[in-house]
Chains A and B, each alone.
Chain A
Amino acid sequence: MYKYMVRRLFQLIPVLLGITFLSFAMMRAAGSDAVTEMYGEKGAVSQEIIDAKRAELGLDRPFAEQYFSWLFGMLRGDMGTSYVSGRDVFDTFASKLPATLFLTVLSILTTVIVSIPLGIVAAVNHDRVIDYILRFISFIGNSMPGFFAALLLLQLLSIRLKLLPVISDGTSLKSAVMPALTLAISMSAKYMRQVRAAVLEELNKDYVTGARARGVKNSIILRKSVLRTAMLTIITLLALSVGSLLGGTAIIESIFMWDGVGKLAVDAITMRDYPLIQAYVVWMAIIYVMVNLITDLLYHAFDPRIRQGNLQA
């Protein structure tokens, strides 16, 4: 286990280097840097001033050197300043992150509460009416784009029923309901399917038939054996779906005016504020990679077969 952890951590290094390199290279490819953004509007600035400023910011140095100095700056929490507001990029990003994490956690909780029981019910009632109904609902949720669901919820809950505010006022729980619900709809639909498949696979194993033959109650088989083993897969799948959630928040946050990093990124994109976009891409990827790492390690720590070294990690 310890060996596996060390190996996994070492594998992370090239991935993290790759993420940062790709993000850096992409922004360079955009063909615009801090200096052109700074002087672009004023127009008639002499070439000498531009060159001097470039030298001052280190933009005339070779690409690889720029990348490494940017990378080390990033490790110290220095990602430059925003072209638009002139504020420190890392601070801006860090100040908006809690709102997004709050939204993410809230929608994951909703997803868990909704989809795990429903997935189990569908699996247990395999190929019966209730299974078909639940599969149909999950299918509908799966085919519904997040922004369409968001607008439907807005129309229904805010405009028709006037239950919730149309535009969020800061980051209160009340204004978090709709964005979290929207994110949870598509996530629950996808996840319910996976829970159902995981439980069904476990139910089809020989030991379940054996237990049934010995006269063990179905509810006991389900609770003591099936769910216990299936839960490992279920939790892993949940953590892996965090990725699509992190990407999806951008659209939902900008619809509901939720003041998180997703909205920050979309605004930055419209303003062509490259340092902010860069910070968003790099940090979301790092968060995602870390979540996957923790999931992987937990999976290995909790699976007794792997823990005891009977199975190859």
Chain B
Amino acid sequence: MKEYTIRTQKIKKNTVKLRLIIFGSLAVILLLCSVFSEHLTPYDPYLQDLSCAKAPPSAAHWFGTDRYGRDMLSRVIAGSRASIYSTLLLVLIITVIGTCVGVFCGWYGRWIDTVLMRISDMFLAFPGLVFALAVAGVLGGGLQNAIIALTAISWPKYARIARSQTLAQKEMTYFKAARLSGSSTLKIIIRHLLPNIIGPILVTSMLDIGTMMMELAGLSFLGLGAKPPTAEWGSMMSDARSLLTTVPWVTLSPGIAIFISVMIFNLLGDTIRDYADPKSRR
């Protein structure tokens, strides 16, 4: 029986590594696509050519063309810049802000901790996208404002994790030893604290990439993110949705692009979680 369990665990560990490699490289490919999007587009994504407007998918235009005759494949590739790049930027911003606040709260404690945690309670009291919608509405449209809106609702989660991790680490012997040996606060935080708490935070942020991508695209879809003619998947879908009956490919191709990207990042997130914490795997 014991022999058997050990063996199955070993097999699973191997698949985790394999999955990590596969999904990791897929994510890297997506990233490279978004970074070098300008050089990958077969046509100019903003070039209008009314003579071949609304053309269905063909050998010349793999994803067809939209109502202005713009090549959809080029637009989807160009849109990866706004969609993937800004999602990653968003997740990075949230992680950094949340971690800083959380470490600060856990480190100093006392009244500043209470105040900041009560503030995070307030943000957590708003359901889902409701507060983000309002923030984006007040600030007006634009990708930058959509990022600010989503940052406003998402940082408390990370602050919570970082704070509880910091509190737990503070009780550890190595931590007390570092303080006794007279290291400066900054040195303890950077050299000792961060490496020990960053794991769970990074796993959470990897798992969040997919959700954030959907929410950012959702805001753009409502016209609160990137504005047309900028190629962004959410706004491209919204732009063409009145033509769903006649030219479905214009709506569907950016939709499929979002779907596949979210799926890849979700798979990567799940795999990283399994890798970091084999117990959670079921």
Contacts and interface: CB of A to CB of B under 8 A. Distances in A.
A23 B132 CA distance: 11
Q: Which of B218, B224, B237 has the most chain A CB within a 10 Å cutoff?
A: B218
A285 B125 contact: yes
B185 to A, nearest CB: 30
Given A143-B266, A247-B128, A254-B222, A26 B134 contact: yes
B138 A289 contact: no
Interface string B262-275: 11001100000000
Contacts of B241: 151, 255
B129 A248 contact: yes
B256 to A, nearest CB: 8
Chain B interface mostly: helix
Contact of B138 (A27, A243, A247): A27
Contacts of A70: none
Contacts of B119: 18
B258 A269 contact: no
State which size class the interface on A falls in: 35 or more
Contacts of B223: 270
A95 interface: no
B122 interface: yes
A98 to B, nearest CB: 18
A303 B79 CA distance: 50
Contact of A148 (B127, B137, B210, B255): B255
A246 B128 contact: yes
Interface stretch (B69-77, B104-112, B244-252): B244-252
Contact of A281 (B126, B210, B255): B126
B127 A19 contact: no
A288 interface: yes
Interface of A: 14-15, 18-19, 21-23, 26-27, 29-30, 126, 139-140, 142-148, 151-152, 154-155, 159, 196-197, 200, 242-248, 250-251, 254-255, 265-266, 268-270, 272, 274, 277-278, 280-281, 284-285, 287-289
Given A140-B263, A147-B217, 8 more contacts: A22-B131, A139-B263, A143-B263, A246-B127, A254-B222, A266-B133, A277-B138, A289-B125
14 contacts: A15-B122, A18-B119, A19-B126, A126-B282, A145-B258, A147-B218, A147-B237, A152-B255, A200-B282, A243-B127, A243-B128, A244-B128, A245-B128, A284-B130
